Structure 1
Amino acid sequence: MSLATRAPHRLGPVDQIPFGEGRAFDVAGEQVAVFRLRSGAVHALSAVCPHRGGPLADGQLDATVVLCPLHLNAFELATGCSTTGAAPLTRYDVSLDGDEIVLLL
């Protein structure tokens, strides 16, 4: 799907996600985890671990990866690729418009 045909979804204020944490959103029927790094950067990935359906928004994260809270599979925030051999996650384009989270889907 081209960038021109993807629709922006406004998810609300970024302050609903504390620094260093993630939150899950239902966006047009997709479960999306949005992460707010301590640097203020935001990333968005599929919210469900492909291994056993773990809730990735509840995982531990650092500047580059999130760990699934169930079995510690690690996924790169920038790409969705696994560093531990699991199937990759879908990565979504996400940005801030002022203080509002905007996800392209």
Structure 2
Amino acid sequence: MESRLKVLRLFKALHRTRMKVFKDDDRALTAAKQKINEEFRKNMHETSGENLQKMIKMASDVEIVLRQSVVQMEHVGEKKLVLRPREELLLENVPYCDTPRKKL
């Protein structure tokens, strides 16, 4: 029962992440939705605890990669792309410095 709950939470988390990552891109939203649903449906009747844990780990890793690494780009001209990063991907830009900072 606990594994089933983990799987359902992960399924929902993947779909929430999909909605954030591919916002305003209907084609990518649809493709990601189909792939997520297909993979979960394909393994719906899995009962082996070891295999379930491996699949849960894989799905969790996929969700993390989507959330932390995928950035949207849009064609705006023949040779131009516009990068549309999400707020959570923007990090503080610290300039390079030859002398290391002193630890406090």
TM-score by length of 1: 0.24
Structure with bigger helix share is 2
TM-score by length of 2: 0.24
Structure with bigger strand share is 1
**Larger Rg computed on CA atoms:** 2
